Structure 1
């Protein structure tokens, strides 16, 4: 679990830099200002999640189910949150209705919130 968490964290970090660069350059020409701001929220939260995954992957031992759920929920939550935002920000450009993805974004956000809560619980139980 430790290796998966670190690999996914590094993958999320790398891809958020790539996607952020596209947003700052190529997508700036095709997305509206509002859609670009929405897109950038997805990039930002993906990077936050990448950093969290790298930190917990480095420091947690993953010897409890709760520690594993911290990582799993952060990975899945970041994916659902950011990817749904990326697609929603492009729906006007692609001229397709992707409103059905709207509920996916808060589900991803809720997963990240639960992950943070479990992380707080994990830290509270730790003996330093």
Structure 2
């Protein structure tokens, strides 16, 4: 299997694992939800988990790959405020936790670029 064939499946796997984690351990995600959003943090945790699972399925299927990958890129941008909130909230935690929270911030850029690359690679297959 070539790298271009593996990349969408790896992205789908990442989204599936992340989406599943939102349901398996929702408490760890609840605290990341910005307080300015309406509704409960748990509702946002479940909604984002469901979105990640749906995007995983979409990216895995060649017919829906381009649209799902573009939506995944948008999701990665959309969750950035939650990562900022986590970094701010964890600024007084022990160094390894602080480092993990801060490390999530620049990680969004390669995730967005990866999803966009998968979408671009899917243009000829749809």
TM-score under structure 1 length normalisation: 0.41
Q: Which has the larger radius of gyration?
A: 1
Structure with greater helix percent? 1
TM-score under structure 2 length normalisation: 0.41
